[in-house]
Amino acid sequence: MDIAWRKNVDQALAEANASGRALFLDFNAAPL
Partner 1 sequence: MYPNDRVATFIAENFIPVKIHIKEQPDTFKRFGVQWTPTLLTLDSDGVERYRFEGFLPANDFLAQLALGLAHTAFAHEQWREAEGRFRSIVQDFPETDAAPEALYWAGVSRYKGGDPAALADTAKQFQSSYATTSWAKKASVWAIR
Q: How far is the CB of 14 from partner 1 (least distance, A)?
A: 9
Q: How far is the CB of 30 from partner 1 (least distance, A)?
A: 6
Half-sphere exposure of 24 (CA within 13 A, CB side): 3
Residue type, 22: A
Using alpha carbons, list the distances in angstroms from residue 30 to 5, 16, 26: 15, 25, 11
Q: Return the residues of window 3-32 that contact partner 1 according to CB under 8 A.
A: 3-9, 12-13, 15-17, 19-30, 32
- Residues forming the site for partner 1 (CB under 8 A): 1-9, 12-13, 15-17, 19-30, 32
